[in-house]
Structure 1
Amino acid sequence: MARQFVLATITLAALSSLSSAPAFAQGHMGTPKEQKACSRDASRFCRKELGNDMAVQGCLQANRAKLSRACSKVFESHGM
């Protein structure tokens, strides 16, 4: 459960670069490097799920074989 929360936070942080600045103020965090690593993949594969971090996480996991190397490494670094 804790890993899912961490990954959801990272995923949402990655997506926050696609949304407005107030998303950061709402506690969506992650390193800038992690955000950059997955934002393009989230936009490409999970556009209709944007705004629902758990759905985006599931979408990215479902598209794991198609993810960029950088985004895949984010998932791997969190044991996913």
Structure 2
Amino acid sequence: MSRKILLATITLAALGGLYQAPAFAQGHMGTPQEQKACSRDASRFCRKDLGNDMAVQGCLQANRAKLSKSCSKVFQSHGM
């Protein structure tokens, strides 16, 4: 029984962390404007991850030095 409680606690903590990421909009991370600002960079650097928003975010962060100014501003606005 305690294992189920531990698993539930871990799951809730992980889900709670999602709300600290950029805002969700239309089932995707970020506002439509933020998505537009980073769409070219995502296509250029993260093509294999498209469709997995968390993976794209990680990929864009890994390529931070190469991002367009508009996409870089999105990450800066979220303290990333």
Fold shared, TM-score > 0.5 on shorter chain: yes
Residues 3 and 78 in structure 1, CA contact (< 8 A), matched pair in contact too: no
Structure 1 stretches lacking a partner, 5+ long: 14-23
CA distance in 1, matches of 2:54, 2:32: 20
Distance change (3 Å), C-alpha of 1:30 and 1:55: closer
**Higher Cα Rg, which structure:** 2
* Count of paired positions: 63
Residues 16-45 of structure 1 show CA distances to partners (whole Å, capped at 9, x for unaligned) of xxxxxxxx3xx3364332121100000000
RMSD value, Cα: 1.9
- With CA pairs under 8 Å and 6+ residues apart, which has the higher RCO, 1 or 2? 1
Identical-pair percentage: 79
CA distance in 1, matches of 2:63, 2:36: 17
Aligned letter for 2:52?
Answer: N
CA distance in 2, matches of 1:47, 1:67: 14
Runs of 4+ deviating beyond 2 Å: 1-4, 27-33
Residues 38 and 71 in structure 1, CA contact (< 8 A), matched pair in contact too: yes
Q: TM-score, normalised by structure 2?
A: 0.67
